[in-house]
Structure 1
Amino acid sequence: MSDSPIDTPILDLIANPDDDALRAALNDVHPFDVAQAVEELENAEIWAFLRRLGDPLNADVFSHLDLDHQAELVQEHAPEETAPLLERMAPDDRVDVLQAIDDELRERILARMTVSQRRVTERLAGYEEGTAGGVMSPEFAALPADLTVAEAIGLLRLQAPRKETIYDIFVIDDASRLIGVVGLKDLILASPKDRISEIMRAEVISIRADEDRNEAARKIREYDLLTLPVVQGDNRLVGLVTVDDVLDVTEEEATTDFHRMASVGNIQTDLLGASMSLLYRKRIPWLLVLVLMNVFSGAGIAYFEDTIAAAVALVFFLPLLIDSGGNAGSQSATLVVRSLATGETVLRDWLRLLRREVLIAGALGLTMGLAVSMLGFLRAGPDIALVVAVTMVLVVIVGSLIGMSLPFILTRLKMDPATASAPLVTSLADICGVLIYFSIATWWLGLQAA
């Protein structure tokens, strides 16, 4: 059996000049699959294809194209053509596209939209990026509490075609304040004469529009929700966040965290689509910072030139020791950043984690120190073996504490804890490792550093 969603390749269908046959063939294919098939075409070919599809399939396919590709297509065509297409998209997807193009073109497109859609778009665009309001959809199903189930189903039947989802129906009062929620299943199973107020759940998990979108993701995950109502002011319902919105947020946040953990600036496109100059600009700042930081390691080594000259065998163990501290710190930083991101750990847990980390790092250091002392004894005798073993214990403890504490410090400073990247932690641990190693060696071997 073929893995393709349809027997005839989509690109072969596009070559068919019969528009009706094309639409009929693609009617049972998910728009995502169609979008993936045409992504590699030239922009002019994609736009011609979208024209042939007609409403509403063209908007569905366009919605599943890569955001950068959407922006290119919109910028290459007249607002008279793009405005109707964007109007047929989900409002939150439409806002994403409009925010990816220049201001002048955005205003020209908005001017050609209907008044109602323009107002919805401008209202959504007014929410700050990274908030629940910035990812919500305003297309929610809502009912007054005093309706009977029969009346509610009739009203819902009229609302449903224009709504994001109707699995959860929110209940509002005369001022549009959220007062309850009723599931579609509960509505169908209830007696037609029951009142919505009798079957709704009054305890509703919600989020304010100005709260962080990660909080929305957390609530949906922890409370097993399909939808999360978004409120503002005096609990007035303004939108909803769905599971698919959360998946997009989670993917974006994970990508951003991976970039930051590798000391790479935020890249708003995929790797293949990013230009060489963009990748250069996003990577060079942190690399330069890390180069400057590593100068301190070199300065530390230069300071202990006499110690190194007197015991050249110390140099053999230098990479092993400082890398071990950096590796231990990177492990700790990764665990803490992830724990902070998922909400498992908060700022007040720092002291508790500090005590645990000292014990864990101490045990790790002792184990690694014992292993490396054997190598030190065979390579350079008991004195060097003791210096190397003690240093290993200390650098692992110090590196681990740097990796554990740095994310908390950044969180306290209102910065993203993911900035406590592996290269940054490793560089700090390297500096400390050099100073610890040669200080112990100088003291134990009875040598005077320059």
Structure 2
Amino acid sequence: MQDTSETITKETLAGQSGDLAQERAPEIVEALNAREPADAAKLLRSLPAEKAIEVLDLPGLDNTCEILAELPKDTAVSLLSGVSDDRAADIFKELVEPLRTTLLNGLNPETRNVISGLLAYPERSAGSIMTTEFVSVPSSWTIAEVLHHIRMVERTRETVYSIFVIDPVKKTLIQAVPLRRLISGDPHANVLTAAPARKPLMISPEADRMEAARLISRYDLLAVAVVDGPGHILGIVTVDDVIDAIVEESTEDAQKFGGMEAIDEPYLRIGFGEMIKKRAGWLCALFLSEMLTATAMQSYQSELEKAIVLTLFIPLIMSSGGNSGSQATSLLIRSLALHEVRLRDWWRVAVRELPTGIVLGAILGLIGVVRITLWQTLGLFDYGPHWVLVAATVGTALIGIVTFGSLCGSMLPFILKRIGFDPASASAPFVATLVDVTGLVIYFGVAAVILRGTLL
């Protein structure tokens, strides 16, 4: 009975692999992601080698390491030898020992050296996402020679849309020539005649990968060269590498905005313990911070006993300050990431946010006053004989709290970046918690001034 079950499973997988072989690589990735690593490995192994390499080359494949662990060593090494060098480096970063060393040693020396070199670059650097599979030609070649070379190496290069021209003696980068300029150029002319008049854009391998993204976005490039100090080209960062980096960065920032550590796996693939670990720390920190709110309210216990009506507006006051702070934080984190503002611009941001917070607070304060007035005059609620002073307290407090929230939310990213933390850590929950405490102090401070001699 067991043998029959295994036979059915093998036949089913064989039939599925035949169907999958006709699909595009992204569709195959989705199919493999829906299966356990052992079954996914069997399906991957049954695909034609070229198709399997194309699938493994896509960053969207989940459990890549587990799938490779299920494959025979020779098969895994063969597939890794076929994928692009930058993708192979990403895979090796995730592999655990001893599988990592075993597969790395199985590669041919040239591929092993390239991948080891890529692994040596700092995480999130341009060097860590660059590919060494690019088209480079000596500056002495003609356009016809370059085009012939492209036809010969096209299948082994990640992109052929940008051709990098090298000094034949110094081996330094001279120019980057778009393929379309070569196609339209005189075949007998030197390759440099098709080059743009401007100097090629370059980036250091130690530079942040988002700097490469900014260059590619700003200058509408398909690839940017990564060079060392003397100007030797080490590799290139392509637009698809940048897109993957942007998606990863955006995902991490979105998770941090929600008040948790970034996760690097799909939601359904995260273990229960790992989920608790990622979320519990920030949740406990925020909970402990919120205790300060309770402490602040205890300090104003006597005022609350004398003017119970003030408690009705505490949620309104606290949420308004937190919301204004979250808005400012989101704007500044994005601006810092895009280098629209720098650390030295903090005072310009403060000067901008101060009047902005006052106006926004005045708008909310006016709405609050109108609301209290309408409820009082229409008989929907009785705020007491001093309702006008209560309205004035709420309106004035909102101006102060929203202004403080805007300033606090805009300055926190600068402070965190200055001390070496990710500005995205100034997430909305963290800002809201901070503003909640100060908001209560401002609210009851304003109440003590306006309501002194009446309710207080």
Give the TM-score of the pair, scaled to structure 1. Answer: 0.92
Tell me how far 1:12 sits from its aligned partner: 11
Residue number among 289, 293, 310 corresponding to 1:297 in the alignment: 293
Tell me how far 1:448 sits from its aligned partner: 12
The one-letter amino acid of 1:439's match is: G
Local SS of the residue matching 1:229: strand
Indicate yes or no: 2:203 matched with 1:207: yes
Question: Which residue number corresponds to residue 410 of structure 1?
Answer: 416
Q: Indicate the larger mover: 122-131 or 147-156.
A: 147-156
- Looking at structure 2, the residues matched to 251 and 337 of structure 1 have their Cα atoms a distance apart, in angstroms, of 16
Is the 8 Å Cα contact of residues 369 and 390 (structure 1) preserved in structure 2? yes
1:303-353 deviation digits (Å, cap 9, x = unpaired):
111111111101111111111111111111111111111222222222222
Trace 1:28-43 onto structure 2 (pairs within 5 A): 29-43=23-37
Local SS of the residue matching 1:240: strand
- Looking at structure 1, the residues matched to 281 and 154 of structure 2 have their Cα atoms a distance apart, in angstroms, of 50
- Looking at structure 2, the residues matched to 408 and 297 of structure 1 have their Cα atoms a distance apart, in angstroms, of 25
Structure-2 change in CA distance of 1:138 and 1:288 (3 Å): same
Is the 8 Å Cα contact of residues 36 and 65 (structure 1) preserved in structure 2? no
Is the 8 Å Cα contact of residues 59 and 87 (structure 2) preserved in structure 1? no
Is the 8 Å Cα contact of residues 87 and 113 (structure 1) preserved in structure 2? yes
What do you get for the CA RMSD once the two structures are aligned?
2.2
1:3-39 deviation digits (Å, cap 9, x = unpaired):
xxxxxxxx9995439x8xx38x835x32111221232
Question: Which residue number corresponds to residue 7 of structure 2?
Answer: none
Question: Which residue number corresponds to residue 250 of structure 1?
Answer: 246
The one-letter amino acid of 2:424's match is: A
Local SS of the residue matching 1:272: helix
Trace 1:363-382 onto structure 2 (pairs within 5 A): 363-377=359-373, 378=376, 379-380=383-384, 381-382=387-388
Tell me how far 1:65 sits from its aligned partner: 6.6
Indicate yes or no: 2:132 matched with 1:138: yes
Q: Indicate the larger mover: 154-163 or 243-252.
A: 154-163
The percent identity for this pair of structures is: 33
Is the 8 Å Cα contact of residues 45 and 71 (structure 2) preserved in structure 1? no
Question: Which residue number corresponds to residue 237 of structure 1?
Answer: 233
Tell me how far 1:51 sits from its aligned partner: 2.4
Trace 1:93-172 onto structure 2 (pairs within 5 A): 93-172=87-166
- Looking at structure 2, the residues matched to 432 and 409 of structure 1 have their Cα atoms a distance apart, in angstroms, of 18
1:87-114 deviation digits (Å, cap 9, x = unpaired):
1111111111111111322111111111
Local SS of the residue matching 1:246: helix
Across the two proteins, how many residue pairs are aligned to each other? 435
Question: Which residue number corresponds to residue 193 of structure 1?
Answer: 188
Trace 1:283-432 onto structure 2 (pairs within 5 A): 283-377=279-373, 378=376, 379-380=383-384, 381-432=387-438
Question: Which residue number corresponds to residue 273 of structure 1?
Answer: 269
The one-letter amino acid of 2:184's match is: L
Tell me how far 1:447 sits from its aligned partner: 6.9
- Looking at structure 2, the residues matched to 39 and 292 of structure 1 have their Cα atoms a distance apart, in angstroms, of 39
Please, which runs of 5 or more residues in structure 1 have no aligned partner? Answer: 1-10
The one-letter amino acid of 1:192's match is: P
- Looking at structure 1, the residues matched to 275 and 217 of structure 2 have their Cα atoms a distance apart, in angstroms, of 33
Indicate yes or no: 2:73 matched with 1:79: yes
- Looking at structure 2, the residues matched to 44 and 360 of structure 1 have their Cα atoms a distance apart, in angstroms, of 57
- Looking at structure 2, the residues matched to 447 and 334 of structure 1 have their Cα atoms a distance apart, in angstroms, of 42
Structure-2 change in CA distance of 1:449 and 1:281 (3 Å): farther
Residue number among 440, 443, 448 corresponding to 1:437 in the alignment: 443
